[in-house]
Structure 1
C-alpha cells in the first residue's frame, strides 16, 4: 500500500508539474507574441513618423529615402554609387532634389542637379570641408595642437618664404602653394622636363624586363609580358616620388613605393576610419611610411633639399615656421604623398585597357602625338596636352575620367542653408556624387555607361561637355584638385611613349577588368582584386626605324 501511495503521489505531482509547465510555456508564448506586437507597432510608428509625418510637417526640407532598418549603411558600404542611383530613380517621378539618406549614423543631403552642385561649391561660409581634413589628420596621428594651429589664420604680415598677405591658415596656404607648383608656369615646366627625361630613360624594354612586375620567364629580346595594373602602379608611384623627393626617400626606404601601393589598395579603411585592430593591413604600411618620412626629414638639409621639389622645401619651411615638429610634419607629408600618387597609376591602367579593347583609337593616338617625338624620344610634352592639336588624345583622357571616376565631394553643413529650394540643417552632410552627374544621359548622351571618346568630338554639344556644370572629375570650388594639369601630362605622356615605342596587347582573350565598386576611393576606381590585365609589350619596328 505504501508503494501504491507513493506511486499515486508521484503521478499527481508529475501531472501538476506538466500542467504548470504548459501554463508557463503558454505565458512565455503570450509574452513573446506581445513583444512582437510592440516591436511591430513601434517600428510602424517610427517609419510613419520618419517618412510620412515629418516630411509633411517640414516640406521645406529634403525628403529622405526610406529604409526598413534604421540605416542605409550596409548598402552604402557595398556600393555607394549603386545606392545613390537607386535613390535618384526613387525620387525621379517627383523631381525631388536634393534628397536625403541616412548611413553610419549621419544624414547626407545628396545633390544631383548641376546648378545645385555649383551652389555647393560656391558656398564656403555654410558648407565646410575642414571637419573631414581634421578627422583624417587625427586618425593618422597628428596631435591636437597641430590640427588646431594649421587651421588658424596666420598674421597678415610680410615674411620670408611664400607670400601670405591675406593671413591664410597653413591649410589654405598649402593649397595656394600646390597651385603655384602644379598649375602651368615656370615650376610646372620643371616637372615636365623631369617627366620627359624619366620617360625617355625608363620606358625601355631592358628596364621593363628587369622590373619586379615582369614575368621574366615570358621575356625575349623584343617583347615582355607583365601584369598591367601592377606595372602602372609601380611605375607611377616611383615617378611621383622622384618628382617630389628625388632619389633620397628611396635611399631612406627602398620599399616606400611598395608600402604605398599596399596601403592605397585598402585606403578605404582609412576613409571609413576603421578601428586599428581591424585594419592592420592598412595601418602597418601607413606607419612604416610615416616612420620613413620622419627619417627623411631628420636628414641634414644638405642631403635632401637639393633634390626635393620647390613645394616640399617650401612647405617644410612654412610648417616649421609655425612650430610643427618632425612627428607631425611626417604625417602631413604622408598625406601629401598619397594625394600625389593615388590616381595617376589607376588612370593609366584604365586608359590602356580601354584602348586595347578599342584598337582603332591606338592608331589615332599615335598619329596625333607623333609631332611630340624625335624618333622614339619624347621632346615636347606640352604638345600632347594641347587639346586643339591632339583632340582624340584629349577625348580619351576625358572619357576615361568620366567612366573611371568614383569619388564624391562632401561638405559639413555648418549653418542652416538653402540649396535647391530646400533647407539643409546644420550638423548634417551634403554630397555631390560626381559619377551620377557624369553618367546622366542628359549630360553624357547615348550609352552613358559605355567608354566612347567620340561623344566628346562628334557634335557641338559633345565638344562643350567639359564646360558643363555637371562635369567635375577633379571636384570643385576651393577643394578642386591642384594636380589636374600634372596628372594629364604624366598619364598621357606615359601612354604616348608606350605606343610610340611598343605594341601592347592583352595576353589571351581576358574579359574587361571590373571596377571595385565596393571600395570608396579618392578619385579613380580601383580594379577588382584578381582581375589585373596581363599584357604583352613588343618593340615596334617603326619606332626603331
Structure 2
C-alpha cells in the first residue's frame, strides 16, 4: 500500500529505501515553511529571520566566510528597507540593525542592551578564567584583601574592569596623557621613516629610486610605533619579532572575537597568540624598574591586577586585548588614504601642501595639522566611510522594542558600520564610490547618525582623536622625508596599477584592509630639502 502511494506521487522504484530521505525532506520543508512563512505572519513584531536550510547551524559558515555578502543578502531580503532582521549562528541569533534612527536608539539604551555581557564574552575569548573574571568584576569592600582606601592607583575602589575602562579613556582622550603617547608614537615614526631603514618594505629598485610596498610600509611602521608608545622597547628586548607576531595575530583576530573553532591547534591565530601571550607574561614578570618605558595606562592597569590577585595568564590576556585594539585600525586606514592619494596626482599635491604647512622650524605641529587641513580631513573621513568594517555588538539583557521590532533577551545585536556607511538613502547612488571631498562639501555628514567609524554610545572609541593624530603624523613625516609617486609600468601587462580591492573574505573588526595580493607599489626618493 505504501509503495503504491509512493509510486503515485512520483517516487517509482525508489521504494522503501527512500523513505528516510523523503521523511527528512518533508520535515525540513515543513520546518522552513513554519520558521520563515507562518511564524513571521503570526508574529509581525519579531524581526524577520534570513532563511537558512540547516537548523542550529544557520548562517554560521556564511557569516565567517563573507559576513558583508551575508548582510547585503539580508538587506535585500527586507527590500532594502533597513528594517531589523535576524541572522542565526551556532551560538545565538544576531539582530542586524542598519537604520540610522534604530542605531541611535540602540546606542542610547545601556540597560536592555548592555555592553557588560559582550565584555564578559570578549574577556573569556581572550583568555580569562572563571576565577579571574569573578575577581575582575569584584568591587572592593571593607575587610577584603583588595580594600586599600586612599591608594593612588584605584582611589574610587571600583572593579578592575571599570578601572581598566576608566584608565583607557584617560590615556586616550585629549589631554596630557594622550599627548605624551602621541609624542612617543611620532618619535618612533621619525626613527623608522629614514632612507636607510626602509629594508622592511623595499621590493625593488628603479631609475627613480626605491620601489616600496605600501602594505608593508604602513603595516610595519604603524605597529612598531604603537608598540613603542605602549611598551617602549621592552617587548622588542624579549622578542625581536614582536611586530611580526602582532601583524599575524591582527590578520586573524576575528577568530578570537567570534570564537572560531581551532581544530587541533592548526588555526593561523594559534602560533602568534601563543607567542604574544608568552612575551606579555615575561614582560609582566619583569621588576618595575625594568618596565620604566611602559605607558601610564599599562602601568596602572597591571598594578591593580596584582592587587586583585589576577593570575598571570589572565593578566597577559588583558594586555594582549589592549595591544591588539591599539593596532587594529591605523595601518589599514593609512593604506587607504595613501592609495587614493597616490592614484590621483591632484590629491597628492593637495595633501603634500597641507602637511608641509604643519612643519615649523623643522618640527611637526600635529595639533595644527589635524585642525587646519580641511582637504586631508575630508579624505580621511571618506576613507573611514568606505573601508570601515567594524561591527558593534551588544547582548540583549531584557526585551526592547526598536522601531516596530521586539528584540528578545539572550540574543545579540550587531551594528555593522559598512552597511550604515553604504546606506543608499543617506549617501546616494554613488555611495560605493570614493568621493574625496564629500565631507568637505557637506560638513554635517561627519555628525550624521549613519556615519559611525568609531562606534557610539558608552563605547564610543576614546582613541579617535589619537588615531587621527597618528595617521596624520605618519603622512606628514612620510611626505617630509620622501618624494612619493605611484610606480609606473608595474600594473597588468606593464600598464598602470589597478586600485586595490577591499578584503571582505572574513568578518571585520575595524578598518578593513586590502586583498593581500592587491598591493600598491611606490616609486620613492629621499628629499634633500
Alpha-carbon RMSD: 2.3
Deviations 1:466-509 (A, max 9, x none): 11111110111222222111111111111122123322223322
CA contact (8 A) 1:174 1:315 kept: yes
Work out whether residues 223 and 538 of structure 1, in 8 Å CA contact, stay in contact via their aligned partners in 2.
Answer: yes
1:454 aligns with 2:437: yes
- 1:194 maps onto 2:180 in alignment: no
1:54 aligned residue: 39
Matched ranges for 1:40-189 at <5 A: 40-70=25-55, 71-92=58-79, 95=81, 97-155=83-141, 158-163=149-154, 165=156, 168-189=158-179
Question: Using a 3 Å threshold, how does the CA distance of structure 1 residues 420 and 143 change in structure 2: closer, same or farther?
Answer: same
Residue 372 of structure 1: aligned partner: 358
Cα distance, 1:445 vs. partner?
3.2
Question: Higher Cα Rg: structure 1 or 2?
Answer: 1
Q: Where do residues 411-426 of structure 1 align in structure 2 (5 Å cutoff)?
A: 411-426=394-409
1:367–1:267 distance in 2 versus 1, CA, 3 Å:
same
SS class of match (2:293): coil
Q: Does 1:214 align with 2:202?
A: yes
How many residues are treated as equivalent by the alignment? 504
The reply on whether 1:520 has 2:507 as its aligned counterpart is yes
| Secondary structure of residue in 1 paired with 2:392 | strand
Residue of structure 2 equivalent to 1:504 = 484
Mapped contact 2:63–2:507 kept (Cα < 8 A): no
Contact preservation (8 Å) 1:127, 1:413: yes
Distance 1:472 1:146 in 2: 33
Q: How far 1:44 sits from its partner (Å)?
A: 2.1
Unaligned runs of 5+ in 1: 1-25
CA contact (8 A) 2:65 2:507 kept: no
C-alpha separation between the residues in 2 aligned to 1:363 and 1:185?
32
| Equivalence for 1:441 | 424
Q: Is the 8 A contact 2:238 2:282 kept in 1?
A: yes
Write the deviation string for residues 416-435 of structure 1: whole angstroms up to 9, x where unpaired: 11111221111111111111
Residues 124-523 of structure 1: pairs in structure 2 closer than 5 A: 124-155=110-141, 158-163=149-154, 165=156, 168-208=158-198, 211-215=199-203, 218=205, 223-276=209-262, 277=264, 279-304=266-291, 306-374=292-360, 377-386=362-371, 389-458=372-441, 462-507=442-487, 508=490, 509-523=496-510
TM-score (norm 1): 0.87
Query: Residue 356 of structure 1: CA displacement?
Result: 0.9
The equivalent of 2:493 in structure 1 is: none
Q: Is the 8 A contact 1:400 1:451 kept in 2?
A: yes
Name the TM-score, length of structure 2 as normaliser. 0.90
Deviation at 1:96, TM superposition (A): 6.5
Which runs of 5 or more residues in structure 2 are unaligned?
A: 1-10, 142-146, 491-495
Shift in CA distance, 27/51, structure 1 to aligned 2, threshold 3 Å = closer
Cα separation, partners in 2 of 1:112 and 1:394, compared to 1, 3 Å: same
CA displacement 1:376-417 (0-9 Å, x = unmatched)? x4420111111xx21111111111111111111111112111
Counterparts of 2:309 and 2:223 in 1: how far apart (Å)?
A: 30
Which region of structure 1 is more displaced relative to structure 2, 80-89 or 167-176? Answer: 167-176
Q: Secondary structure at the match of 2:48?
A: coil
- CA 476–158 in structure 1, closer or farther in 2 if over 3 Å, else same: farther
